[in-house]
Chains A and B, each alone.
Chain A
Amino acid sequence: MGTLLRSEEMTLCQLFLQSEGAYTCVSELGELGLVQFRDLNPDVNAFQRKFVNEVRRCDEMERKLRFLEKEIKKDGIPMLDTGDNPDAPAPREMIDLEATFEKLENEMKEVNANSEALKRNFLELTELKHILRKTQTFFDEAELHTQAIHDPSMAEDTMGLLGGEGGASGTSSQIGLSSCFHNRFVAGVILRERIPAFERMLWRVCRGNVFLRQAEIETPLEDPVTGDQVHKSVFIIFFQGEQLKSRVKKICEGFRATLYPCPETPTERREMAIGVMTRIEDLNTVLGQTQDHRHRVLVAAAKNIKVWFIKVRKIKAIYHTLNMFNLDVTQKCLIAECWCPVTDLDRIQQALRRGTEHSGSSVPSILNRMSTKQEPPTYNRNNKFTLAFQEIVDAYGVACYREVNPAPFTIISFPFLFAIMFGDLGHGMIMFLYGLFMVLREKQLTAKKIDNEIWNIFFNGRYVILLMGTFSMYTGLLYNDIYSRSINLFGSSWGSNYDFKALSENSKLQMNPNNSFIGPYPFGIDPIWAMSENKIAVTNSFKMKVSIVFGITQMYFGIVLSLVNNRYFDRRLKIFCEFIPQMIFLTCMFGYLIVLVFYKWTHFTSEMSQEAPNTCCEAMFYAGQKGFQIFLVMVAALCVPWMLLVKPLLERHWYRSGQVRQQQNMSDQLHNNFQHQQLSVQSGDLINQEVYHHGDGGMPPVSGQGPEKEFDFAEEMIHQCIHTIEFCLNCVSHTASYLRLWALSLAHTQLSEVLWGMVLSVALSLNGYLGCVVMLAIFPFWAGCTVIILVLMEGLSAFLHALRLHWVEFQSKFYQGTGYKFQPFSFENLLDYSVEEAK
């Protein structure tokens, strides 16, 4: 059944690469992406490896590129992404690249330093400009004060103005204050949010003997270091005496206020203002030129930066891989060990040949297959369709090497179990259309590279969503539910001919299956049930039985897959001591149940139930049923000791009789092992095996499969005991667990019915224009609730339950999931990964 049923056959290979050709060979292998290198120096510190210098240089280049990228982003220059994939450059090109980046970085740093200095200068000048402008008004006010003191009629105003500062001390202090305007002051600029604290501090430290005026600068100023826009205020402080001056200055320093010299006389101030304006203008032109230069440099860099990034990352990856290799004694060649798929060995050989040609080396690289006792990695060749399902399986556990992969079966069974819970034609249609949209616009949407986690989850699962929607439509049609309504496609099978008398006497009537039923509804549930009072009783009975039927079918399927596994690995003992009793046990307990369900449906009619209505629940369908059922229970009970005892006892027996034979084989086995040893390099795991052979010389391996551990009967017995109890209990609990299909389906139907009944039918019951208006308001609400609650939330819950049913109820029957994933050395993965890192 194709390639997906089992993971690829893998082999451990040894590569002999000439030192000069190693770089190009690894580069070719990286483009191919089909080999997973093993670290042959796990004990060596990362700093003591051979190519640590090169890796460090690559790191440095990457840092420079990131710096450039940051600068480019700061200026908002679009980075050209041509999507082309340059080959890893030759090692000698690395020097050129380094020189280019070095030059660019230095240039950028210089430009940045210059422009920062210019900007700081500019900021100072602008602040000074504002100070000169604002303080003018303060001085004007001060003039006013002096006048007011001489003119008693204006004294009231001054009282109000200076009330906070010196109102209590009376007019005498005011005279002092106004005279101090001509004495001493400092002017400066401070961050606006610091003003209240600044003012309070000044007041407390100088005991109210200073006079502070401040005015806001309306336009925000640019901070030269961070480039942020900050709001600042101009302030001026008047005070008297040297002591106060030093205090004020210290406080200003503490609050990071910048002080500027400010001439006292108006004429001097005006002259200074003019000087400042001209200098600002000069500075502006210089700044503009600097910015232009910076822009030009960055635009040039932006054209290449993506390609540079790819190149540097490839070089780095290659050297990183080379670090995992082992150096030959002669220092002439590098030895590598890698896992690769057997079917791709030819392509790998070709890549190696290409690599050797590129490097111009005359000695070819050699690829040797090795035999190993290690478990190879699991490699499933997925396409974009099967990948999502494979990920559902892998999220539970990666399959063991060559174990049956549940993913291909999950492709259908997962969406179908989901659909049993989610069955509604309308909701299924919404989901289907959403999935279809994503599948049809796949290319455009992928190209957009939307960086939204939730969107990406949905987008990666687009094929799952599509199939879930499709099957939900099918099951919805069979449940006869469309937004909780039904349709009468084929004509109901219930028809009654009650006369007028019967109808007028009763408020409700129950139809009799014997005379008003004309045969089953051909497709799905009869629409008449949607209107009947006893709908729930009937649909519950149906959904419950469907859940059990599907659940047990899936469990059977799982056990059959365990047979496939055991046959493949040639574990005959497990087939006879686990698979067969398991099948018998399940059949006796639940297989029989299904047979009875179908028997009842097909053979048990309403006439029979009326003959003996009271014994309906314990009805006997055939003669000798009781005896047969007792027999089945006994068979099931017999299966338990079969599962429990036979395997450990047999294994013990074989172990004991096998020990005698082992003594004879001992010498052969040791010889073989030494031959293996010659092939492999002294990597960590193989050393361990070597030690093992030397240390435990008296206990050689039993079979060619590898060193077998000593047989421990007690452990084996406990293991089998757990396994048996687990299986028997699980048969019951898993069957009960499948009832969640029924429960969720019921909940979904009820919820959508409530939504329809409470919301939409209110609007539908109104007539005339009012109905139209109410409908306009209510329909969006109903539609929103349908999508958010019924499709999204219910869909999510049904998804999780389907996931559980697959992970636990289905996979526990055959799946071990203790393998590890094949992670080939591939530039493609590397670049994807680094893009994600950058985000």
Chain B
Amino acid sequence: MNNNVVNLENVTKRFPAGKTEFTALNKINLSFGKGEFAGLVGPSGSGKTTLLNIIGSLDIPTEGKAIVLNKDIGQLSHKEAAALRNFGIGFIFQTYNLLPVYSVFDNVEFALLLQKMPSDKRKKAVMEALEWVGLADRAHSRPSTLSGGECQRVAIARAMVKKPQIVLADEPSANLDSKNSHHIVQTMKRLNQELKTTFIFSTHDEKVMQYLDRIIYLKDGMVEKDEQIITK
């Protein structure tokens, strides 16, 4: 046993491409400890999203082992993988992926509904999460009435409300302007420090990178460089 929340051993992922196969990840060996604020950086097609999908139990490795929160992703049933995502992992997407017919409150509440949390505790947790991201006053707004930055903050609140051990953020600033990019990464950094949640980003945004404690450079599905950033 170790303190790592994610352990990847020789993780390989191949996708069928016509009659051949495309190797998206090639023997990746990585681990992420509790409370890390790490980023996967690399050009398009380097395997960032595929790696996040495997860590997030949305996909399984073709070869190798991915142990996330002490669970072997390749061995999980659909139900076990869903439970792992529901309780242990939060997702933040580039396009926010908010449920359009729900209010901000309903969107954030959703994960807790799946956890069958009692109503009073749930409401308290949702309002707390919205306060973390500064959107408590927009609780009853529809996502369509929010700006891109606000939508991404709702997505952060939705990922954080269940206090997961890991948050996976796939290009979270790609659709945002500079000011909003700084704002949301600062918000995530603050939550990382306050709640000791492990954040793993996929990004090629310089503005995000400057906040990261660790940058893993991927190229052609392989780890090119794994760099710890010493913050002053």
Q: Is A bound to B?
A: no
Query: Chain A interface (Cβ within 8 Å of chain B)?
Result: none
Query: Chain B interface (Cβ within 8 Å of chain A)?
Result: none
